[in-house]
Amino acid sequence: MSDAQSAPLVLAITGASGAVYAARLLQTLVSSGIPVHAVVSPSGAEVVRQELGLQIGGSDRDLSALLGYSWGDDKWAKPTPMAVEAGKKLVRVFHYHDFMVPIASGSFLTRGMVVCPCSGSTLSGIVHATSQNLVVRAADVHLKEHRKLILVNRETPLSVFQLENMHRAAKAGAVVLPAMPGWYHGVQSVVDLIDFVVARILDHLQIQHDLIRRWGTPC
């Protein structure tokens, strides 16, 4: 296994709507045995509380609630307590303002970074390299080191400023991957739409999955 394959993936959860995408992505990464280094912004924790009814990002910065989350559809089986406990060993969570952690430095190897969901203010901070918090600093590190950076924006409609910021991010090497699910893979539930976005993220990270039926494959 190469250093890149064994290195952790950085996952940042910020204050845009769409916390369910982060929950599903985290569960899928952990079930694939991929170590995750996570950062949750205060706004991101508030959106998780509002949209999913879960408390995360407290003093112990525990994401086990996301690991155990289920949408309630029978196609999204609730993880067992054993799976959640095993998953916790793969996930490290860093404080939003701690710049003394590994992911704040380019010398620390990762397999990439995903900001999911990515708020407009986080996008702005990234493209202007403000480094005002660990999410923005880690994203800046991935851009300067020419590593994979995926920004999962979730906003509509888009202002000219957000469009310009997405353009700047793409020019700098980021993958701008808005949470815009397709409908061609046999959609039967909300979970299918969630899985479509998560599947596209995993594709760009070259992580194998079976979340969706691909275009051109038999029904």
Q: What pLDDT score does 217 carry? A: 77
CATH number, domain containing residue 175: 3.40.50.1950
Q: What pLDDT score does 214 carry? A: 84
In a domain, 49, yes or no: yes
Q: What pLDDT score does 43 carry? A: 96
In a domain, 216, yes or no: no
DSSP codes joined into one string, the chain: --HHHHSPEEEEE-SSS-HHHHHHHHHHHHHTT--EEEEE-HHHHHHHHHHH----SSTT---HHHHT---S-TTSPPPPHHHHHHHHTTEEEE-TT--SSGGGSTTS--SEEEEEEE-HHHHHHHHTT---SHHHHHHHHHHHTT--EEEEE--SS--HHHHHHHHHHHHTT-EE--S---S-S---SHHHHHHHHHHHHHHHTT----SSPPTTS--
Degrees to nearest 5, angle at CA 148 with 180 and 176: 25
Number of domains in the chain: 1
In a domain, 210, yes or no: no
Q: What pLDDT score does 85 carry? A: 85
CB atoms near residue 74 (< 10 Å): 9
In what order do the strands lie in the sheet containing 91-94?
91-94, 36-40, 9-13, 112-118, 149-153, 175-176
| Contact (Cβ atoms closer than 8 angstroms) between residue 79 and residue 27 | yes
Measured distance CA(75)–CA(216) in Å, rounded? 22
Q: What is the pTM of this model?
A: 0.93
In a domain, 215, yes or no: no
Q: Which domain holds residue 115?
A: 3-204
In a domain, 218, yes or no: no
In a domain, 169, yes or no: yes
| Contact (Cβ atoms closer than 8 angstroms) between residue 63 and residue 35 | no
Q: What pLDDT score does 4 carry? A: 61
Pick out the chain residues at pLDDT < 70.
1-5, 58-60, 73-75, 77, 219
